[in-house]
Structure 1
Amino acid sequence: MALFTLGINHRTAPLSVREQVAFHAEELRRALGDLLGGARAQEAAILSTCNRTELYCQAESPERVSQWLAEYRRLAPDDIAPYLYVHPEREAVRHAFRVASGLDSMVLGEPQILGQMKEAVRIAREEGSLGATLNKLFQNSFAVAKDVRSTTAIGANIVSMAAAAVRLAGRIFERIDEQRVLFIGAGEMIELCATHFAAQKPKQIVVANRTVDRGRALAERFGATAIRLEDVAGRLQEFDIVITCTASQLPILGLGLVERAIKSRRHRPMFMVDLAVPRDVEVEVGELDDVFLYTVDDLAQIVEEGMEARQSAVVSAETIVDARVDAFLHWLHARDSVPLIRALRDSAERMRRHELDHALKLLARGDDPAAVLEQLSQRLTNKFLHAPTQALHQADGNRSEQQALISRLFHLHSD
């Protein structure tokens, strides 16, 4: 059985292909059972996210697992073959360590993948598809990820627009949990921002959207309320933080509207992030004394600085990964010797018992104990040395190699 990883990710395949081989959480258990049921793999775990589907296996061949994946997803093998990658033993171990550490993610150093990998391992363990090899591999992967994050700056800097918005808000307001937040729009970017801000537990979250039902669906996820977009004009003054990202071709928050809101707030500061292109907030709003307005370009600069800082940590992280790969492979290859070691010890034990029984019979008939012990030691020595001596006598072209091997095994010296 060989250790390998077979997969598809955001670098090798477009979304239209990745979604065809993705596994939802409820599917993983059935898929693992099917993969192991046909003796295609001895051990297996499936990691499936929006950016990757990877099968970590201890199996006879990647070809059989690839064929299973195509059949299970009712795809022609040729349809996915161009997008698949296979990492054999050493590369499979290195890949697992890099994935867990966020070094292979679309956003370098993002921490979510570690939790997703742990969930995949939990399911595999519950389904009985983890053996000694994969269990050791993943435990080492988690340890490497912890080591990378605690000793490098791989996850210490802001590398997303949403996280950057939260960081900027924290510079304006000492406590975000005392602020009221308004999200204008209900698209993917607003959803990401809402996720980050909701983690700070603000006093109130409101979602304003042209389509109220869509706004309400997003609001319900965060315990928020939804309002119509046209209601923003009458309620803007209520909010300390405003995040907007719509598809409007014209600004929806004009200078006059924001001026009136600031006056009603008695000049308490308002933090605004305009992530829309074209912009949702008139440029002149940024000139108001009590408004802190940031655009997508402002946040992009913070993200770029974070990416540069993370990139500088990659070298240190990769060094940690490589060292741990060597340690894991040493353990893995040592396991290959276990059956041979066990057979050697069993053979020696049989010799010992046979000679001990022979010696006990001689003692029982009254032979001199000293002579019996002398004979026992000689017979054991002859039996233990018979195989290596015979190997030396029968060696042909590789006699010098045999001699070097036996010298090393028995710690012999030329003198």
Structure 2
Amino acid sequence: MQLFALGLNHHTAPVSIREQVAFQPERLVQALGDLVRAKSVKEAAILSTCNRTELYFATEQPQDAADWFAEYHRVALHDLSPYLYTFPQRDAVRHVFRVASGLDSMVIGEPQILGQVKDAVRQAEQAGTLGTTLHKLFQRTFSVAKEVRSTTAIGANTVSMAAAAVHLSERIFERVSEQRVLFVGAGEMIELCAAHFGGEQPKKITIANRTPTRAEALAARFGGDVLPLDRVGEALSGYDIVVSCTGSPLPIIGLGMVERALKARRHRPMVMVDLAVPRDIEAEVAALGDVFLYTVDDLAKVVDSGLESRQQAVVEAENIIDARVDGFLQWLDSRGSVPTIRALRQHADELRQAEVERALRLLAKGEDPHKVIEALSHGLTNKLIHGPTRFLNDADADQHGHGVELVQRLFNLHKDH
């Protein structure tokens, strides 16, 4: 059984492709069950974020996972293939270590990805698809990520997606403090964005979310108000900056909705930041003359500016990861010997039981206990060394030297004995 990682991310696929294969959180457990039941995959976990969709799995037939991935999302595999990567064993282990450590993120060193990996593991545990191998892999992954973050400066000088959203808004509006900001959604990313925009003290902050409780809590933190999600369309014209990040499978803000808002605004410009995958804002909105629409891929160009100062930390982190990959693969290799170890122990125990039963029969007949114990020890010794002795006697001239060395190592012998 081999480990594999299969998927696509912001390096290999644009958002228009990534949104087609994103998994809805509420369907992940069922999807994992379908994958393991329908194919040769024995263990599996799925990581699906705005920047990546990846399968981590154990199988002898990796093509089965690729076929399932395409079938599940109703996309032809040949259409996905140019964007997909498949990493076997060593490369798969290294990849998941890098992902969790923030080295493969759009924002190098960002901490949110580790929490997302942990969420993926919890989903796999709930689905019952996290076996011994993947469980160990992810425990090592969390340990490596912690080591990278605590012993390198990988998280220093990080320009976050939230900070980049503020920066892009300032390109259009000189002062965010004079603008009205609408946040659609109330998850972790919106919370980060609200904190960054809130620091600029805009004229107004509004949170629109499907569940009002979360929106009210977030609005209270930043002195904002709450808007029901189904009223975003009628209120849109009152906002200069719109930041959206929800888990909706379909766009929340459509072209017609924005066109009506622009007309009401008399074509005063709007900045719209869509951090969701699949997208919350219809792509056609970008063609409107008075709208500056940015996606997660656009924000990547801004966050890249902080990468140079972290290059040394990246090198240090890569060295840590390479060493930990070797350690995990050694554990994985040792798993291959477990059946042999079990068989060896069972064989020795069967020999022991046979000698003990023979000794008990002799004692029951009144034989001398001292002689019975001597016979038991001799009998057990002869049976245990019978295999190695026969192996050495049967070895031909070419194999004899290697056989002798092997037996000496197995039984901790020395050549001068």
TM-score, length of structure 2 as denominator length: 0.71
Classify the secondary structure of the residue corresponding to 1:105. coil
Distance 1:182 1:328, change over 3 A: farther
Unaligned runs of 5+ in 1: 168-179, 209-214, 233-246, 253-277, 281-298
Distance in 2 between the 1:228 and 1:92 partners? 45
Give the deviation of 1:131 after TM superposition. Answer: 1.1
Q: Which amino acid aligns with 1:389?
A: T
CA deviation string 1:270-296 (max 9, x = no partner): xxxxxxxx9x9xxxxxxxxxxxxxxxx
CA deviation string 1:34-77 (max 9, x = no partner): 00112421110000112111100012221111111122122222
Work out whether residues 352 and 380 of structure 1, in 8 Å CA contact, stay in contact via their aligned partners in 2. yes
Match of 2:316 in 1: 316
Q: Which amino acid aligns with 1:156?
A: A
Q: Which has the larger radius of gyration?
A: 1
- RMSD of the TM alignment (CA)? 3.9
Distance 1:85 1:385, change over 3 A: same
Match of 2:170 in 1: none
Match of 2:21 in 1: 21
Distance in 2 between the 1:161 and 1:29 partners? 28
Match of 1:91 in 2: 91
CA deviation string 1:87-141 (max 9, x = no partner): 1111111111110010011111111211111111111111111111111111211
Classify the secondary structure of the residue corresponding to 2:413. coil
Distance in 2 between the 1:35 and 1:353 partners? 45
Match of 1:405 in 2: 406
Distance in 2 between the 1:408 and 1:106 partners? 50
Classify the secondary structure of the residue corresponding to 1:199. helix
Match of 1:68 in 2: 68
Q: Which range moved further: 363-372 or 38-47?
A: 363-372
Distance 1:109 1:24, change over 3 A: same
Unaligned runs of 5+ in 2: 168-175, 228-234, 241-261, 270-288, 292-298
Distance 1:363 1:67, change over 3 A: same
Distance 1:228 1:302, change over 3 A: closer
1:341 aligns with 2:341: yes
Give the deviation of 1:216 after TM superposition. Answer: 7.3
Distance in 2 between the 1:83 and 1:146 partners? 30
Q: Which range moved further: 380-389 or 320-329?
A: 320-329
Higher relative contact order (CA 8 A, sep 6+): 2
Work out whether residues 183 and 194 of structure 1, in 8 Å CA contact, stay in contact via their aligned partners in 2. no
Match of 2:394 in 1: 394
**Which residue of 181, 193, 199 corresponds with 2:195?**
199
Work out whether residues 46 and 120 of structure 2, in 8 Å CA contact, stay in contact via their aligned partners in 1. yes
Q: Which range moved further: 327-336 or 109-118?
A: 327-336
Distance 1:231 1:63, change over 3 A: closer
Distance in 1 between the 2:138 and 2:202 partners? 39
Distance in 2 between the 1:323 and 1:205 partners? 48
Match of 1:243 in 2: none
Distance 1:102 1:94, change over 3 A: same
Work out whether residues 36 and 129 of structure 1, in 8 Å CA contact, stay in contact via their aligned partners in 2. yes
Distance 1:123 1:230, change over 3 A: closer
Match of 2:125 in 1: 125
Give the deviation of 1:82 after TM superposition. Answer: 2.5
Distance in 1 between the 2:183 and 2:14 partners? 21
Distance in 1 between the 2:60 and 2:26 partners? 27
Distance in 1 between the 2:317 and 2:370 partners? 64
Distance in 1 between the 2:122 and 2:188 partners? 27
Match of 2:113 in 1: 113
CA deviation string 1:360-410 (max 9, x = no partner): 211222222222222212111110011111112222343322222111101
